[in-house]
Amino acid sequence: MRGKVGRVVAVLLLITVIIGGGAAAVFYQKDSLAHLYLQKISGKKTGVQEVTTSTTKKTVQINRKAVSQQLKKDQFVGNVAILKNGKLIYQQPYGKDPDKNEKTKTTKYQLGDLQNALTAAAIMKLAAKGRLSLDTPVSHYYELNGATSEMTVGDLMNMTSGLTLDVTPSTELSTDVIPWNLANAVGQGQGAYSFQTVNYALLSGIVAQAAGISYQKYLDKILLQPAGTKQTGFVKSAAAQSKLVPAYSADNASKITQDTLFQTMNERLGTGQLYTTAGDLARLTNYMSSSDFLSKKQRTSGLFEENGDYTGRLARAGGQLTGEARFSGYASALAFSSNGQTGVVLMSNYQVQGDLSKTAQALLEQIND
């Protein structure tokens, strides 16, 4: 009986807060007492919210005509997602690929080098927990030709390890991608920047060693689940890859073969290759950029790239977070406010012209007006 009375009192207190002008505290001040009461009673957690057009408020409205005009101007083909004030307000397919494949708002694409941003996030999460340091020598994890005690985890993240990988991988999806990278990588002395996929392939193995569970399971635990992703996973087989939208070569409109895709995956992250949707990538960017994931100091120290050298991580400059990637016919780009609360994600399987990164930034300017 006392329990029922307590719940009734809590509800009455909440109603009093709202009527007394505390509604803003309930819905916008997520650390307020009123908000905590609401969460406890409703059982709902906060996070990226999806807003339908019928319930979209003025604070999250966008000019859909202007968005469409920009995408048409840049001949965009793929999926777009727009996040504003932490709310996912727009998810749509746009344009036609050569075979006119039907797309929905949950059409899946391979992520390519932007997966490096998630790998870097996993490294920084482990660093925050004291499991590793960016100054930890790579030799602590691998016996690698050319890896001296001077080559560090930070060198791998910044693509300054000096490692190169010039061998052509197999066209069959490999389960031994880390041993393959270790066997074929050559060290030439760290220090100078050089984009080499072997750096992040090895980082994925370091994540697994430091976390004590597989790279895939750790990403799922610290990123995919907390961010609320719904259509994101790992290509582990031909059957899984066949469920993604096909990718096409931009120059002759030919479909990219699965052999070519698997060859690229083996060189980069093998069976850990991520697929996702535009909406899920918006959720991930929003979550990674927040204090719910890491403190501001921790995010600044390694999550973002700030020197202009492309690593696949999110770049932070001019008050924006940006990112882009190409992967055997797939192309992705995003542009977000520095706090990750407002942004645009574009994912394409047939980008014939233009710069997706510039298109995303142009759309971000539109929705910020």
Domain identity same for 39 and 169: no
Give the range among 55-69, 137-151, 338-352 with minimum mean pLDDT: 55-69
Domain identity same for 23 and 138: no
Beta partners for residue 314, in sequence order? 304
Note whether residue 52 is domain-resident.
no
CA distance 147 to 169: 22
CA distance 123 to 354: 33
Q: Is the pLDDT of residue 366 over 70?
A: yes
- Count the domains in the chain: 2
DSSP 263: H
Max mean pLDDT range (26-35, 59-68, 202-211, 266-275): 202-211
Nearest to 162 by CA among 196, 114, 115, 112: 196
DSSP 138: G
Two structure tokens written together for 67 = 């968005």
Nearest to 363 by CA among 347, 340, 344, 348: 344
pLDDT band at 241 (very low <50, low <70, confident <90, very high): very high
Domain identity same for 192 and 239: yes
Domain identity same for 82 and 30: no
CA distance 89 to 345: 12
How far, in whole angstroms, is CA 239 from its chain's centroid?
A: 23
Average pLDDT over residues 189-216: 94
User: What's residue 200's pLDDT?
Assistant: 96
Beta partners for residue 49, in sequence order? 87
Residue positions counted in the chain: 369
Q: Is the pLDDT of residue 38 over 90?
A: no
Q: Is the pLDDT of residue 160 over 70?
A: yes
Computed over every residue of the chain, the mean pLDDT equals 85
Question: pLDDT digits over 273-321, tens only?
Answer: 999 999 999 999 999 999 999 999 999 889 999 888 999 999 998 889 9
Note whether residue 150 is domain-resident.
yes
User: What's residue 354's pLDDT?
Assistant: 83
How far, in whole angstroms, is CA 344 from its chain's centroid?
A: 12
Domain identity same for 282 and 364: yes
User: What's residue 48's pLDDT?
Assistant: 61
Question: pLDDT digits over 21-35, tens only?
Answer: 433 333 333 333 333
Domain identity same for 267 and 315: yes
Beta strands in the chain (DSSP E): 49-50, 78-84, 87-94, 109-110, 163-164, 186-187, 233-234, 274-276, 304-305, 314-317, 320-327, 330-337, 343-348
Beta partners for residue 102, in sequence order? none
Q: Is the pLDDT of residue 163 over 70?
A: yes
Portion of the chain with pLDDT greater than 90, in percent: 69
Give the range among 18-22, 105-109, 318-322 with minimum mean pLDDT: 18-22
Note whether residue 129 is domain-resident.
yes
Note whether residue 256 is domain-resident.
yes
Name the pairing type of β-strands 87-94 and 49-50. Answer: parallel
Nearest to 124 by CA among 296, 267, 281, 283: 296
Q: Is 48 helix (H, G, I), strand (E, B) or coil?
A: coil
Average pLDDT over residues 37-51: 44
Long-range contacts at 207-214 (CB < 8 A, ≥ 24 apart): 207/119, 207/122, 207/123, 207/126, 209/141, 210/126, 210/131, 210/132, 211/122, 211/126, 211/131
User: What's residue 35's pLDDT?
Assistant: 35
Give the range among 10-14, 195-199, 322-326 with minimum mean pLDDT: 10-14
Q: Is the pLDDT of residue 214 over 90?
A: yes
CA distance 75 to 61: 24
User: What's residue 88's pLDDT?
Assistant: 96
CA distance 313 to 324: 9
User: What's residue 268's pLDDT?
Assistant: 87
Average pLDDT over residues 62-77: 93
Q: Which has more pLDDT, 332 or 317?
A: 332
Domain identity same for 116 and 17: no
Portion of the chain with pLDDT greater than 70, in percent: 83
Helix (H) or strand (E) holding 37: helix 33-42
pLDDT band at 145 (very low <50, low <70, confident <90, very high): confident
In which domain, by residue range, is 180 found? 64-368
Cβ(250)–Cβ(350) below 8 Å:
yes
Rounded to 10 deg, the angle between the 2-17 and 33-42 helix axes is 130
Cβ(315)–Cβ(235) below 8 Å:
no
pLDDT band at 146 (very low <50, low <70, confident <90, very high): low
Two structure tokens written together for 307 = 């020197």
Domain identity same for 6 and 132: no
Domain identity same for 13 and 99: no
Note whether residue 53 is domain-resident.
no
Domain identity same for 80 and 199: yes
User: What's residue 190's pLDDT?
Assistant: 81
Note whether residue 57 is domain-resident.
no
Note whether residue 56 is domain-resident.
no
Domain identity same for 6 and 155: no
Question: pLDDT digits over 87-97, tens only?
Answer: 999 999 999 99
Cβ(327)–Cβ(111) below 8 Å:
yes
Q: Is the pLDDT of residue 270 over 80?
A: no
Note whether residue 75 is domain-resident.
yes
pTM, 2 dp = 0.83
Q: Is 94 helix (H, G, I), strand (E, B) or coil?
A: strand
Domain identity same for 209 and 72: yes
User: What's residue 8's pLDDT?
Assistant: 41
Long-range contacts at 56-62 (CB < 8 A, ≥ 24 apart): 56/89, 59/84, 59/85, 60/84, 60/85, 60/87, 60/89, 61/89, 62/89, 62/90, 62/366, 62/367
CATH code assigned at 132: 3.40.710.10
User: What's residue 187's pLDDT?
Assistant: 85
